[in-house]
């Protein structure tokens, strides 16, 4: 069964999700989008050949499932806007980082709300999607079935764990890219062309991910040890990272990101004290 989807907001993540859905065979005729910027709305509609709505409420009225894809600071106003159109028990997905379920349920009391934390890789079906709903929620299988074409779905037991999922999968993409940028810069400094360095790094990352994915018993640590010969070049590089306390730096970066999520939530009125 193809559920009718309404995306309220068509920013980057909404477009990534739409791309992944349609790329996996989802019927574009079952997707409608609304957005306060008519320019972005028309561009998105043309790109994916999907319907547009005249208003957020109009989009909600056309849908079985609503995806709230607006910025955290906008979500309360959007919920106030669509509340009259939400039907009892209607599924609503919120992808707004930091806006907690208590707030979403207070703003949309008649809805059945799920927090959904995707990353940009959903556009190619290789995403990571963190999910959280109340214990009484009865539609986990339905939600997973709808979203699994976008990537791996992970239901967490505690809402606070979504913060870690946000940093791990969403911010994690940028962290991997940042590391790759530094590695490419080092490779070019040693004389490799930009093209060769870029392609080699991409292939190395892909091969490493595939290696641990294809062998469930192989951990990151085990693979690292396999390629680290005693007294060799890899050991020398890792020793330098230990001197620079790279692991501690990564932990500090994650902690800073978590603090930012909490601050954003508080500023948006979405965190319950």
The tens place of each residue's pLDDT in the chain, 273 residues long, gives 789 999 999 999 999 999 999 999 999 999 999 998 888 899 999 999 999 999 999 999 999 999 999 998 899 999 999 999 999 999 999 999 889 999 999 999 999 999 999 999 999 999 999 999 998 898 999 999 999 999 999 999 999 999 889 888 889 999 999 999 999 999 999 999 999 999 999 999 999 999 999 998 999 999 999 999 999 999 999 999 999 999 999 999 999 998 888 887 777 665 543
Torsion of CA 128, 134, 139, 143, to 10 degrees: -20
Q: How far is CA 184 from the centre of its chain?
A: 26
pLDDT at 272: 46
Distance CA 65, CA 184 (A): 43
pLDDT at 269: 64
Structure tokens at 252: 């500090």
Report pLDDT for 98: 86
Per-residue pLDDT at 273: 37
Q: Rounded distance, CA 6 to CA 61, Å? A: 9
For residue 82, the model assigns a pLDDT of 96
Cα(20)–Cα(245) distance, integer angstroms: 38
Q: What is the pTM of this model?
A: 0.88
pLDDT given for residue 270 in this prediction: 58
Beta bridge partners of 37: none
The pLDDT value recorded for residue 84 is 94
C-alpha distances in Å from residue 244, one per residue of 68, 169, 258: 42, 25, 23
Residue 120 has a pLDDT of 96
Location of structure tokens 């703003």: 107
Give residues with Cβ within 8 angstroms of 44, minimum separation 6.
10, 14, 15, 18, 33, 35, 50
């Amino acid at each position: 069964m193809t559920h009718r989807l309404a995306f309220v907001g068509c920013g980057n993540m909404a477009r990534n999700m739409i791309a992944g859905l349609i790329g996996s065979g989802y019927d574009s005729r079952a997707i409608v989008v609304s957005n306060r910027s008519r320019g972005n709305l028309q561009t998105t509609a043309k790109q994916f050949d999907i319907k547009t709505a005249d208003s957020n409420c109009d989009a909600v009225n056309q849908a079985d499932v609503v995806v709230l894809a607006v910025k955290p600071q906008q979500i309360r106003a959007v919920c106030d806007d669509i509340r009259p159109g939400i039907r009892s028990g209607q599924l609503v997905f919120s992808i707004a980082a930091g806006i907690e379920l208590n707030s979403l349920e207070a703003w949309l009391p008649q809805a059945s709300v799920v927090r959904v934390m995707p990353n940009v890789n959903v556009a190619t079906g290789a995403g990571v999607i963190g999910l959280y709903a109340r214990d009484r929620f009865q539609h986990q299988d339905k939600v997973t079935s709808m979203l699994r074409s976008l990537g791996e779905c992970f239901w967490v037991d505690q809402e606070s764990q979504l913060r870690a999922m946000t940093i791990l999968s969403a911010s994690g993409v940028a962290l991997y890219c940042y590391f790759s940028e530094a590695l490419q810069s080092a490779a070019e400094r040693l004389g490799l062309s930009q093209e060769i360095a870029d392609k080699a790094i991409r292939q190395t990352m892909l091969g490493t991910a595939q290696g641990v994915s294809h062998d469930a018993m192989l951990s990151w640590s085990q693979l690292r040890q396999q390629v680290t010969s005693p007294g060799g070049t890899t050991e020398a590089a890792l020793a330098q990272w230990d001197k620079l306390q790279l692991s501690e730096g990564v932990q500090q970066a994650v902690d800073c990101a978590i603090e930012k999520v909490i601050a954003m939530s508080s500023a948006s009125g979405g965190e319950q004290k």
